[in-house]
Amino acid sequence: MVDARGFATALLPILCFVLGTVLGLMVDGFIAQPGTVFEFLLRLQTLLGAAIVAGAVWIAAVVMRANLRRPPAVQAPTRGEDRQTAVQILAREEDRIEANFAGLEDAERLLLSLKTELPPSEHEMWGAIARDRLSREGLWADPDGMADLVLRKLPNTDLITRKRVEGILNYLVFWSSEAVDARTKAVQARHDVDLARQATDMKPEARAEYEKLYTSAAELVATAQAGYAQSLRSAGQLHEELSATILRWQRDRPVIRRILEAHIADSIRQAKAGAAN
């Protein structure tokens, strides 16, 4: 199916030819019978001129239509522009490394101390030991004060890393505290169960109640132990992630610096050459 624009393009040369022919007839008197061959050739030239004009208009219309359909050309970046863009990206990466490197090292050292100083969850007294060591290192705080504590410990570390460290410390403090309380209850409940089993005059319902209290306290200890173990794993995973980032930055930083220095030197040479010319 021909659209309106295609129909107009096809009709335009026909109209031009008819208009040129009519004008030629009116101007040269072609309606009258030509008297000589020379006059006939002159009038035929008018018709040929009209045909040429019609063809030119048709070609122009086709070209215009093609240009309208063609999407606007996107100028490809030059080699110099590509190089300038790459240099800008490297410069921003160098700035990011310089701004965050020291803070990342501080966070990595803090997490390493958690991995090495805190007892494993399999330790019999892990809750009390973890609480004492966190307190000794100044890492014990309630949830409302943990953000300020981490900020004091890691003033140069980026916000996202600080928030991750804050979450790990909150869980370590919570599960350590829960473990100490649950273990105290479990020890007391176990003692009451032993007394209940030795008491010959105690009713079975009362003895079962003591057994239930001990089971509940033991479940709390197991829950706290699992939560503490998961928090230690999270600390280890974040430590490995930060260590890998630090190693990569240590490798990339001198390479980026050499590239930027070479670009600066090249720019200086080009400026001197331009000034000399």
Indicate the residue among 48, 69, 90 that finishes a domain.
Answer: 69
Count of domains for the chain: 2
Tell me the C-alpha distance between 186 and 192, whole Å: 10
Same domain, 171 and 228: yes
Closest CA to 94 of 246, 254, 247, 266: 254
Global pTM value? 0.62
Range of the domain at 60: 4-69
Three-state secondary-structure class, residue 30:
coil
Give tens-digit pLDDT for 19-77: 555 555 554 444 444 444 444 444 555 555 555 555 555 555 554 565 555 555 455 55
Phi, psi of 201 (to 5 degrees): -95, 5
Same domain, 55 and 136: no
Tell me the C-alpha distance between 192 and 196, whole Å: 6
Instruction: Give a yes or no: residue 74 inside a domain.
Output: no
Give tens-digit pLDDT for 187-197: 888 887 787 77
**Number of neighbours of residue 104 by Cβ within 10 angstroms:** 20
